[in-house]
Amino acid sequence: MSSLTLKAISKKFGKIMALSGVALHVDDGEFCVLLGPSGCGKSTLLNVIAGLIPQDDGTVLLNGQSIDGLAPRDRDIAMVFQNYALYPHMTVAQNMSFGLRMRRLPKATIKERLSEATGLLGIEDLLDRKPRELSGGQQQRVAMGRALVRRPRLFLLDEPLSNLDARLRAKVRLELKRLHSQIKGTFIYVTHDQVEAMTLADRVVVMCNGEVRQIGPPEAVYSCPEDTFVATFIGSPEMNICRGTLAHKEGRTYFQGAGFSFDIGRAQPELSTGEVEVGIRCDDIKISTKQITGLEAKVEMASNVGPEQYVHVRLGQEELTLRAPKDQTLHPGSLIHLTIDGNLVHVFHQGRRVS
Amino acid sequence: MKTNREHLENTIIRILKVTGIIFFTVIVAFPFYWMFVSSFKSLGEILLHPANLGLDIRKIDFHAYYEVLFEHGFLRYICNSLYVSLITVLLSVTLAVLGGYAVTRLHFRGQTFMSYGILVVYMFPAIVLVIPLYVVFSLMGLRDSIHVLILVYMAQTIPVALYMLRTYFQGLPLEIEYAGLLDGCSRVGVIWRIIIPLSAPALASVALYTFMIAWNEFLFAFMFLDTPEKFTLSRGIVQLAGSVHLSKQLVMAASVMVTIPVLCLFFIFERHLVRGLTSGAMKG
């Protein structure tokens, strides 16, 4: 097992900057998730690490040694693809052992590794089948198994669960997490699904437009987003962002938005009083039933999502989303009062976090 | 509830369909049938009853085949044709696989130009090329040679073979190749162990196409070959037709021998042509 370091990786496709200056260090045994919207360069980054696409600039280091000059087959990296990419003309056993046979490992070793991996994944019965005779979930396991038997220095997983239906996905996600703790491998996992990222990752790397926007443990990325992109990309429903200005008054700081204003806590004179964006998670806005708070909002729509409801309201000229218990009756057009926990709001200046 | 009109329409369509099928079958099959039947008759039989289309099973006569094979040198021509066709298939398919893969997957300067330019070669009609090539090969002293024929057939078949394979390769998922590269294959290894097995249906049709072109080709064989020992089958038939004015059954027997191998190949490979091997490789 190994650590991976990326130094200033850049890649251009024609005029499009697919990756620009990506730097990252992944520790031995870490589960690192690359998270971002489609086309943000996360799969390209994975292909660069694997050596399938050469980078224009930068270095890939495995265990501190540059692997830039190595062909994919010499890098000792295994990859699981979104569409599994099983060899259709080979049986499951042949698929899984292909990499080992190519490396001319002794037959006994191949057999041993094969039975170990199939046992781990519960696919002992499938060995003689062809890929087209397998269900999606089984194909996914075989693809995983093909990587496992190799015992590579690094596992790359490119959206391995996105072709599974929702129920299976949740199940396989848990299995994957367990598998990682069992084999203690270094995993780099690409996804656009934030739930996968949050549940699987030791650390999340949020990417956008070929750049790394934030690296950190899932909790940190959620609770302390570095910029408005990360803030709105992570969390569901999306974080509310309001534009306005800050004012310091009597030892406290106030946010003045379009048609409303609220206290955001102790005065922080270092904060600029100019244009800012304030981000508020929908959990941090509460509907006040008793008192008049000065934040009067109009209910526009309530959507029931099962255990709770998302309420879309208009506060001043801003539209906000908040959560409410499912049994609370909220008619469109009715007026409600909100409380916003000022200590929990996120303040951004020109998109970057300032507080 | 079916109306009468609908019923009538369906009936007419069905009748037209059957008529059409019968019509085309007769047009295609009749000359072949006539050729086949005539080849089993004796010369006397043909001369006595030229309009007799039937074949009397008791009077089947293999003499024409014997005569053509052993007295008119067709055994030799068959060997020549087989040699030329098989070598052409082997070389054309090999080069088309490599070339088709290169223009599909490898990135190099002039890739698009190569990929389409190769078809331009095919646009020149053979008759335009045959005279200059005749002159060039004559000057080089290479003309009366089976190997030059192979070279010409390769030039004729590779463009289409490459184009067919290119289209097929483009449909193969890139990730399978990536998986192969990571699993320890070189580029050549990927082609040999993954691309070729997956392309079996396409390779079969390309091989069949190439074989048919090389086996049936007449113009270049006629122009380039002078020595009877080097004749291919189609060239041999012309020689035969020119030398035996009366013995139709000999020409027919020779023609059957040209036709049968191609037909057999077609029926053998036909199953492979339609079998899609990639199903199940990819999800979704």
How does DSSP assign A4-41, residue by residue? EEEEEEEEEETTEEEEEEEEEEE-TT-EEEEE--TTSS
Q: Does the pLDDT at position B188 exceed 60?
A: yes
Shortest distance between the Cα of B178 and any Cα of chain A, in A, equals: 7
**Maximum CA extent, chain B:** 78
Q: Are A221 and A234 in contact (CB under 8 A)?
A: yes
The tokens of B255 are what?
Answer: 């023609």
Q: Report residue A206: phi and psi, to 5°.
A: -90, 125
> Cα A64–A68–A71 angle (5° rounding)?
120
| Chosen from B183, B185, B278 to mutate, greatest number of chain A CBs within 10 A | B183
Q: Which residue type is seen at B80?
A: N
Pair of tokens at residue B199: 């392309």
Task: Give the torsion sign (CA, B176, B179, B180, B186).
Answer: positive
* The predicted structure's pLDDT at residue A109: 95
Task: Return d(Cα B205, Cα A220) in angstroms, integer.
Answer: 59
Judged by a CB distance cut-off of 8 A, whether residue A50 touches chain B is yes
Specify the 3-state DSSP secondary structure of A169. helix
Global pTM value: 0.82
Residue B284 pLDDT exceeds 60 = no
Q: How many CB atoms sit inside 10 A of residue B243's CB?
A: 10
Is B280's CB within 8 Å of A77's CB?
Answer: no
Nearest-5° Cα angle at A243, A242 to A244: 120
For residue B89, give every residue at least 6 positions away whose Cβ sits within 8 Å of its Cβ, in sequence order, or none: B207, B210, B211, B214
Interatomic CA distance for residues A74 and A72, integer angstroms: 5
Q: Residues 152..211 of A with a Cβ closer than 8 Å to B: which? A: 163
Domain limits, chain B = 4-63, 65-274
Taking all residues of chain B, what is their mean pLDDT, rounded to a whole number? 86
Q: Are A85 and B281 in contact (CB < 8 Å)?
A: yes
Residue of B nearest to A140 (CA): B283
Q: Flag whether pLDDT at B279 surpasses 60.
A: no
Q: Which of B178, B186, B280 sits opposite A131 (nearest CB)?
A: B280
DSSP-based helix, strand, coil % in chain B, nearest 5: 80, 0, 20
Provide the b/e sequence for A247-265 (b: ≥16 CB within 10 Å): eeeeeebbbbbeebbbbbb
pLDDT at B138: 92
pLDDT, tens digit, 9 for 90 and up, residues A286-319: 888 777 777 889 999 999 888 899 999 999 889 9
Distance separating alpha carbons of residues B189 and B180, to the nearest angstrom: 8
**For B175, which residue in chain A has the nearest alpha carbon?**
A85
User: pLDDT band at residue B1, thresholds of 50, 70 and 90?
Assistant: low
Which stretches of B40-145 are DSSP H helices?
Answer: 43-48, 63-66, 74-105, 111-123, 126-140
Please indicate whether, in this complex, the C-beta atoms of B283 and A73 are within 8 angstroms of each other.
no
Contact status of A84 with chain B (Cβ, < 8 Å): yes
H-helix or E-strand spanning residue A299: strand A296-304
How many percent of chain A have pLDDT more than 90? 69
- Rounded average pLDDT over A112-128: 93
Give the closest residue to A80 by CA, choosing from A168, A150, A11, A184: A150
Query: Which residues of chain A neighbour B284 with C-beta distances below 8 Å?
Result: 83, 163
Report yes or no: A92 and A128 within 8 Å, Cβ to Cβ: yes
**pLDDT tens column, B62-111:** 888 888 888 888 899 999 999 999 999 999 999 999 999 999 888 888 88
Q: For the packed helices B248-274 and B74-105, what is the interaxial angle rounded to 10 degrees?
A: 30
Residues from chain B that touch A88, judged by Cβ atoms under 8 A, are 176, 198, 277-281
Q: Which residues of A touch B194 (CB under 8 A)?
A: 87
Asked if A85 lies within 8 A of B175 by C-beta distance, the reply is yes
CB atoms B176 and A73 under 8 Å:
no
Look at residue A85 and tell me whether its pLDDT is greater than 50.
yes
Taken in order of first residue, the domains within chain A and their CATH numbers are: 4-233 (3.40.50.300), 263-353 (2.40.50.140)
Inspect the interface and report whether the beta carbons of B186 and A130 lie closer than 8 Å. no
Locate tokens 């191949």: which residue? A110
Other C-beta atoms closer than 10 Å to the C-beta of B57 total 7
Instruction: Note the pLDDT of residue A327.
Output: 86
**Highest mean pLDDT of the ranges A192-196, A254-258, B69-73, B236-240:** A192-196
Residue B282 and residue A134: Cβ atoms within 8 Å? no
Rounded average pLDDT over A183-200: 93
pLDDT of residue B282: 44
Check A89 against B198: CB less than 8 A apart.
Answer: yes
The highest-confidence range among A90-104, A329-343, B224-238, by mean pLDDT, is A90-104
Q: What is the pLDDT of residues A260-285, one digit of tens each?
A: 888 887 767 677 667 889 999 998 99
pLDDT at B148 over 70: yes
User: Closest-CA residue in chain A for B189?
Assistant: A102
| Amino acid in position A276 | V
Structural tokens at position A185:
């491998």
Q: Strand A203-208 to strand A31-35: parallel, antiparallel, or no bridges (unpaired)?
A: parallel
pLDDT for B246? 64
Weakest mean pLDDT among A326-335, B35-44, B50-59: B50-59
Cβ B183–A99 below 8 Å, yes or no? yes
Q: Are A260 and A317 in contact (CB under 8 A)?
A: no
* Residue range A150-179, pLDDT digits in tens: 999 999 999 999 988 888 899 999 999 999
DSSP secondary structure letter of residue B71: I
d(CA A94, CA A100): 10
At A273, is the secondary structure helix, strand, or coil? coil
SS3 content of chain A, % helix, strand, coil (to 5): 30, 35, 35
Residue (of B220, B210, B211, B262) closest to B96 by Cα position = B210
CB contact under 8 A, B283 and A163: yes
Confidence label for B160 from pLDDT (cuts 50, 70 and 90): confident
Among A141, A232, A242, A241, CA closest to A194: A232
Name which of A73, A78, A163 is nearest B284 (Cβ-Cβ): A163
pLDDT tens readout for residues B193-207: 999 999 888 898 889
Predicted pLDDT at B274: 57
Whether A326 has a pLDDT exceeding 90, the answer reads no
The alpha helices in B172-199, defined as continuous H runs, are 174-182, 187-190, 196-198
- SS3 string, A184-220, reads CCCEEEEECCHHHHHHHCCEEEEEECCEEEEEECHHH
Q: Say what the ipTM of the complex is.
A: 0.86
Mean pLDDT of chain A: 91
**Class for domain B65-274, per CATH?**
mainly alpha
Structure-model confidence comparison of residues B17 and B58, the more confident one: B17
pLDDT in the model for residue A1: 65
With contact defined as beta carbons under 8 Å apart, do A186 and A4 qualify?
A: yes
In the chain, the amino acid numbered A242 is C
- Whether residue B273 has pLDDT greater than 70: no
Residue whose structure tokens are 């003689």 = A128
Q: Kindly report the CA angle at A236 between A235 and A241, in degrees rounded to 5?
A: 70
Q: Span A216-241, mean pLDDT?
A: 93
Average pLDDT rounded to a whole number, residues A40-51: 94
* Rounded distance between C-alpha atoms, residue B25 and residue B19, angstroms: 10
Q: Examine residue A237 and say whether the peptide bond preceding it is cis (omega within 30 degrees of 0).
A: yes
Asked if residue B35 has pLDDT above 50, the reply is yes
Least confident among A55-59, A140-144, A233-237, B108-112: B108-112
Q: How far is the C-alpha of A297 from the C-alpha of A287, rounded, in Å?
A: 10
pLDDT at B200: 86
